[in-house]
Structure 1
Amino acid sequence: MKEDSIEFATRDGQRLQAWRWAPEGAPRGVVQVQHGLGEHGGRYRRFGEALAAAGYLVYAPDGRGSGRSANGRYGHWGPDGWPGWVDDLLQLNHRIRQDHPGLPVALVGHSMGSFATQQFLLDHSAAVDAAVLLGSTEVSGIVAMMTAEGPVDLSALNQGFEHRTGFEWLSRDAAEVDRYCADPACGFVPEPFAGIQTLARAADPAALSAIRPDLPILILSGDADPIAGGGAALQLVAQRYRDAGVSDVDLTLYPGARHELLNETNRDEVTARIVAFLDRTIGG
C-alpha cells in the first residue's frame, strides 16, 4: 500500500488537498470518500488502507474549510458555500477520471459528505458507478438545522448519551471519541453554509427521478445514530430512491451503533460490508 496526496482546484478558486491510498499492483476500481462536518480526510486512513488491501485506489479529500485545505481557517467555506461543497465532488471526480480512465468509481459519503452525495447524485449519477451513504438521514431536518439563526450547534445530538466529552454520540469506542477531541482539525464551529437550501432538492421526487435506475446504492447506519431517527429516516431515504425507480438500494441498520460507523466498535464488520458491496458493483 502506498500513501500520497494530490491537489485539485475548485470552481471558486480554492486548492484542496486529497489523501490517496493505492494498492499493490493495478487497482480494481477507485473509491472517492467525502468526509463529514468538523473533520477531515486524514481520519479515513484506516478505512483507506483496508480498501487498498482489497485492491481499490482511494481518494479522500480534506474538503473546503477542513483539514489541510483550510489553512487554519476551519469552517470557512469560501464564496460558493454549500453548492461549492457539492461541486467539489464533481471536480475530484473529473480528476479521478482524467488520471484513471476506464476504471469504475464508487462514491462514499459520510454525514455532511453523505448529504452532499445525495445532492450530487441528482445531477451527476452517470459520473459514478456505485454510491455508499454512511451516517446519513432524510435531508429536510438538516436543512432546517443548518439554516437556523446563530452558529451550528451539534451539542443537542449528545442528549441521551453519557456526557464525558460531549461527542459520545459519535461512537461507543471511547478511544475513538478521545482521538476526535484531541484533533485540532475536528469539532470546530463552522460558519453558516450559504446555499444549503439547495440540499432540499434531495427530498424532491421529481429531482430524484433523474438518478439513473441502475445505480447501486448502499445505505449503512447505526440505529442509535441520533440523526437516523432510530432508522426510520434511512428507511424513508431508501424508499424514496426505490420510488424514483432505482432498482438496487440496500439498507443495513446496525443495532446500538452510533454516528461514525467507520470508527465504531463494529467497524471491521462495516468495512467488510462495504468491501463486499464494492466487489459486487465495481470490483469485477
Structure 2
Amino acid sequence: MSKTSTGRSGLERYLHDREFEIRGSLKSIHSSNTFSVDGIVAAQLNRLEALQAARVDLASNALHLDWNRVDLRRASAACAFEQFRARAWALGELNKSLSSTYTDLYHLTFADTADRRRSGDLTRFNIDAFKRGIRRALNLLQKSFPDFWAVGMVEISAAPTSGQAVLFEPHCHLLVDGVPSMDLRAVFKSVLKKRSSALRPVQLEPVRTPADRARVLSYFFKQVPELRNQIVGEDGRLIEGRSNHLTGPAKVEWLAWMAAHHVTELLIGTGLPAVVIEKFEYRDLQLIIDELLKGGSQHGN
C-alpha cells in the first residue's frame, strides 16, 4: 500500500502531489508512457536485488536509493530514477528547445553488425569507440550542412539465438534536421566498419509534425532491456516480430553494462542540442518537472 502525501517529504512529496499531472503529460505524448512514484521505487529495488544476487561488482553510487537523493549526485543509466529524470527532461526541456521546418527532419536508426556482442560478452562493447563513429558521420554532415542539428541516444537491445543465449545489438537513434535523406544514408554507410555485414544499417523515417517529434523522443528514452524477436515473412525474409523484455542472466548483464555508464554517456548531440545536453547533467529534477508540466511539450516549432 502506498504512503499518503503526508508521509512523504522533500522531492518525493513534490512528485507525489503532482503524480497525476506528470503521468497525464507523459501520456499526452504517447499512451505507453506512465509514471508512478512508488512504482519506480519498487523497480529500483528489484534491479538492485537482481544485481546483488548475481554478485555484479556494482559501484556504491550506481543506483539511487530514494527520490530525495536524486539531486545530490548523478547515478548510472541503470538507475530507474535517472531514467525517469532523462525521459522527463527529453520530453520537456529538450523537446521545447528543438526547432524545425519539418521538410528534412528524420528519425535515423544506425546499427552496425560489427558492434554485436554475444551473451557474456557485452562488457566488450566500447561506447566511446561506437560514438566516435557517429561523431565522424555528424562531422562529415556539418561540412555540407553547417546549420543542421542532431540529437540521439545509444541503445542496446537483444535478439534471441540458439538455446538460452542472446545477441546484444548496440545501435543509435537520432533525430536529424536539415539534411536530405540520400545524404544521411550515404554518410552513415560510409562509417560502417570493414567487417560489417549489415543489410540495412541505416533506417530513416520522416518526422512531419511537432507531435511526431515528441513521440520519437519518447521512443529514444524508453531505456528498457528489449528482446526483439524476428519472424519469417511470407516472402521468406526475416521481419520484426513483437518485442519483449529480457529476463534472467541476459537482463542482469544488460543492467550491469548500464550501471557502468551514465545517461550522459549515452546521449549524442550536435548543434543546439549539444548545448542543452551539457546543461542536463546539472538540472535539478524539480526544474525538469516544472518544464514538463508547463504544457506544449508536444507543440514545439
Q: TM-score range by the shorter chain?
A: under 0.3
* TM-score, reference length from structure 2: 0.26
Q: Which has the higher contact order (CA 8 A, sep 6+)?
A: 2
Q: Report the structure number with the largest CA radius of gyration.
A: 2
* TM-score, reference length from structure 1: 0.27
